[in-house]
Every structure is written in C-alpha cells, then in structure tokens.
Amino acid sequence: MSFRIRKGFLFPLGLLTLEIVALLVSCIVFHEPIGKCIILSTLVLPVLILFLECLFRQTVLTEQGIETRKLLRRKQLNFTDLTAVETIQVKKRAFVTLCAGDEFLIVSNAYANFPLLIDGLLQRVPAAVVSEETAQMATNPPRKSSDIVSCWAAAALLAFLLYAQLKSGLPLLTQP
C-alpha cells in the first residue's frame, strides 16, 4: 500500500511556488527596489523545497515494514524491530512516531487516506508496542484541512500581488 501527500494541498502549494517565482522575475524585469527582490528571493527557496519535499514524499507499507521516500533520501523500518508506536495530536494535526531503537519515523495526517494508512499500520505492527493514544486516535483519525485553506489563501493573495505588479510594470516595458 502506497500513500502520498494530499493533492488538495500539493496543488495550491505548487501554484504558490509558481506565483512567488513569477513575482520575483517580474520584480527583476521591472527593476523594482532591491529590498523587494531580496525578500522574494528568501521566500522562493523554502517554498520550493517544501513543495518538492511534499511532491516526492511517499510512504509504502509492506508486510515486512514501512518505508518513507523523501526528496533525495529514504528511510525504512521493519515492523519486527519496532519498540514503540506513539501519537502526538495537537487539535486536528496528528503525528505518529514509529521507534526502532535509535531509528524513528514520523508519519502525519498530511497524507491522503490517512485513516487507511493508520489502519494498515496497526494491523501489521505488534500490538504490544502501540500506545493507548495511538489506538484511540486510530478509531477516529483527525482530518486536517486548515493547511489547504491557508495555502489557497496565500496563493490568492500572491495572485493579487502578481496582478498588481504586472499591471503597474507593463507600461514601463512598452515605453521607448
């Protein structure tokens, strides 16, 4: 079973990334103040890395273990090596930590089909290592959508800023 980050989050995050890059390019082309370009430059890299990290993140459950693939790295734990499966829940955000000695893996409810992921995970791990909080959370896994709403709001704001930037800057390009 394979799980990826929700497309409902990836789409607005990708759009936000494109808008920040377009805004930076327009600032450079329209010779905007250097401070504005520096601020946008500092925003581009973390947003781009976050988008790529989410885009490539994949968690695979097999009969033997769990593997999480991220941008340029991968981590695998065997179910028989697990010493603890614990949950931290803050409001609608859930983090499930799988520990195997010094190794650990964290899975959040940012994944599509999170309830299915948790169900499949708990069917495969030894029951003795599952905490009471994790077993309780698995009965009604939280669904978080505020990150999607926030990302769409940021994309809408940047779309407005990009529109204003292009509207004010285009007459400068058409002058001789």
Q: What is the pLDDT of the chain when averaged over all its residues?
A: 90
Count of other CB atoms within 10 angstroms of residue 129: 17
The per-residue pLDDT for range 18-35, each reduced to its tens digit, is 999 999 998 888 888 898
User: How are strands ordered across the β-sheet holding 73-78?
Assistant: 2-4, 58-61, 65-70, 73-78
- Which pTM value belongs to this model? 0.81
Count of other CB atoms within 10 angstroms of residue 138: 18
Single-letter residue type at 120: G
The per-residue pLDDT for range 115-136, each reduced to its tens digit, is 999 999 999 998 899 999 998 9
The per-residue pLDDT for range 142-164, each reduced to its tens digit, is 888 888 999 999 999 999 999 98
The alpha helices in the chain, defined as continuous H runs, are 7-29, 34-56, 114-124, 132-139, 146-174
Q: Is the pLDDT of residue 47 over 60?
A: yes
